[in-house]
A and B are shown apart, each in its own frame.
Chain A
Amino acid sequence: MSNILELENINYVYGVGTPFEKRAVDNVSVSIKKGEFVGIMGHTGSGKSTLVQMLNGLIKPTSGRVLFDGADIWENPKEIRKIRFKVGMVFQYPEYQLFEETVYKDIAFGAINMGKSSDELDRAVRKAAEFSGLKPELLTKSPFDLSGGEKRRAAIAGVIAMDPDVLVLDEPTAGLDPMGRDVLLSQIVQYHNKRKNTVLLVSHSMEDIARVADRIIVMNKSRLVMYDETKKIFSRGSELEKIGLRVPQITKIMLTLKERGYDISDGILTVDDALAEISSLLKKEGKIW
């Protein structure tokens, strides 16, 4: 599979030339394959949001190149809007961007900016609403009358309606109840499976990332410290803990068991996997049949 996004030696410095200069992204190079689900994790302030905002040209790297489908997105700055339709971006607190009279119109905003024709538009909006789990009867309401979770979904739908090739979500589940998080996350996974597009998910929840990501980028203090398959990342539990990250609880239990000398494979991420692993281990030792 080919790379859809490539970052080459990206640096980003906030407030250049002021006493508050801050290097938020330090020499990051990474390639993202088409159709992958990539998780991004890192401590607060490690540069995740800054990094993803460079993927669709919202901010321009201080130095380095961003390639989309092999072409430098900043080659022609006038065309940068086109990239924003291809790389859709949902912000950390997306509910602050709602402004239209109705939810329907708000979801349509991006698609209208793209210049979609009207029946195409209607289909895109309704499908996006469905994908993000927004009930059809909410479409005629004012976005300001929605609950927090519904606002979040409406904002996500607004980006999905543009049908981007790459969907970037910056902590889409922050501040939602546990049930809401699970539902939203599985809807994103469903969308990914159906649409077969590339998804980048920034999250603080290791459980969430462990469940959905194929690969994980780990950021620490503005640098990219790991980029590997999910299982391999979580088998490096002690390294993660050193940079203030936690592995999922179940992974930690399994790693501890392994340290105690049990024959358990690396990177167990879900309770189901753990159950299978433990029962096969018990079978092997003849404790159960």
Chain B
Amino acid sequence: MVRDVAFGQFFPGKSLIHRLDPRAKLIMLVAFLVIIFCTFTYPSLLIVILFTVMFILLSGVPAKFYFKSLKVIIFIVIITSVLNMFYGTGTPLFEWGILKITLDGINRAIFVSIRIVCLILASSCLTFTTSPTDLTDAIERLMKPLGKIHFPVHEIAMMMSLALRFVPTLLEETDKITQAQKARGADMESGNIFHRVKAFIPILVPLFVSAFRRAYDLATAMECRCYRGGFGRTRMKVIHMSKRDVLSFAAMGLVICGVIICNILLPAVL
């Protein structure tokens, strides 16, 4: 069923990472992603790995789900690291015809795969521990300065959170409509491509109709509650930075310093 697709899953919880300010998490994620790609020595790579393991453990989300999020990209990791292996420079360690593997190539492969894996794990950690509403809220707050140049920050954030809110609803509805049409003998599994595209009409039409109906209903409901855009709007849940966030920024700072110091003191392997 369509519904089984994992989409930015959120696992409610009360761990340290769950309780961090979503803005802090977002900023730290960006900083961490940058620093991942600034690792040029094995000790700095080790720091990054240790930090990743640490926040995975702290997030309290079962490791199983982190592995699941890796499953999707495992092929990309394998392919890029294999390609990188053959593109190294220097004296070859092995040679088969035109294919040669060098120490440099192996280093590249290790770095590339570990970087991608850490990148996915860090992003998953954010979506696992932050509800979509908190996330869009954080994006809105961080982009607020852009409002000064008449960028519609609030509107965009509102659209994002509405879209996120309705993804599961629409998936569920697609499921139901598909079942109902199948019950009338709609055949979606056989025939050529032209036939199959046509077979989707009985699903798309009711889906659009109901999406528009939902949109109108939602608009009416928002107007009834006097929604009139972002200007002067206060919040029910005000997010603010606390000691936790400061501490985690400090930890992040240590990681960044560690990576930079390793890069300066030790010879780069890449």
Nearest CB of B to A222, in Å: 19
Chain B, interface size category, equals 10 to 19
Contact with B along A51-64 (1 / 0, CB 8 A): 00100101100000
- Cα-based distance from A210 to B209 in the complex (angstroms): 36
A109-B184 in contact (CB<8A) = yes
- Assess A99 versus B184: contact at CB under 8 Å? Given A15-B4, A58-B179: no
CB of B195 to closest CB in A, whole Å: 13
Interchain pairs with CB closer than 8 A, number: 58
- Given A91-B176, A97-B177, A159–B201 Cβ distance below 8 Å? no
Contact B180 A97 (CB under 8 A): yes
Query: Does B183 touch A at the CB level, under 8 Å?
Result: yes
Q: Are A91 and B185 in contact (CB under 8 A)?
A: no
Do residues A91 and B183 form an inter-chain contact, with CB atoms below 8 A?
A: yes
Contact A97–B185 (Cβ < 8 Å): no
Shortest beta-carbon distance from B8 to chain A in Å = 16
- Which residues of chain B are within 8 angstroms of A162 by Cβ–Cβ distance? 184-185
The answer to whether B147 has its CB under 8 Å from any CB of chain A is no
Q: Which of A18, A53, A59, A110 contacts B184 (CB 8 A)?
A: A110
Encoded as 1 (CB less than 8 Å from any A CB) or 0, chain B from 155 to 191 comes to 0000000000000000001001101111111110000
Q: Let me know if B269 is at the binding interface, CB within 8 A.
A: no
Q: Do A96 and B187 have beta carbons less than 8 Å apart?
A: no
Please determine whether A89 and B177 come into contact, CB atoms closer than 8 angstroms.
no
Which of chain A's residues have a CB closer than 8 A to the CB of B205?
99
- Collect the chain B residues with CB atoms within 8 Å of residue A98's CB: 206
Residues of B within 8 A of A34 (CB): none
Query: Which B residues touch A58, using CB under 8 A?
Result: 179, 182-183
Q: Chain A residues with Cβ under 8 A from B4's Cβ?
A: 15, 18
Contact yes or no, A96 B183, CB < 8 A: no
Given contacts A91-B176, A91-B179, A97-B177, contact A81 B206 (CB under 8 A): no
Cβ contact within 8 Å between A96 and B179: no
Q: Which of A5-34 contact B (CB under 8 A)?
A: 15, 18
Given contacts A96-B173, A96-B176, A96-B210, contact A113 B183 (CB under 8 A): no
- What 12 additional pairs, Cβ within 8 angstroms, besides A58-B182, A88-B183, A89-B183? A18-B4, A53-B179, A58-B179, A91-B176, A93-B176, A99-B201, A99-B206, A99-B209, A109-B186, A113-B185, A113-B186, A114-B185
30 CB < 8 A contacts A-B: A18-B4, A53-B179, A58-B182, A58-B183, A81-B187, A84-B182, A84-B183, A85-B185, A91-B176, A91-B179, A91-B180, A91-B183, A96-B177, A96-B209, A96-B210, A97-B180, A97-B181, A98-B206, A99-B201, A99-B206, A109-B202, A113-B184, A113-B185, A113-B186, A113-B187, A114-B185, A158-B184, A159-B184, A162-B184, A162-B185
Interface residues of chain B, those whose CB is within 8 Å of chain A, are: 4, 173, 176-177, 179-187, 201-202, 205-206, 209-210
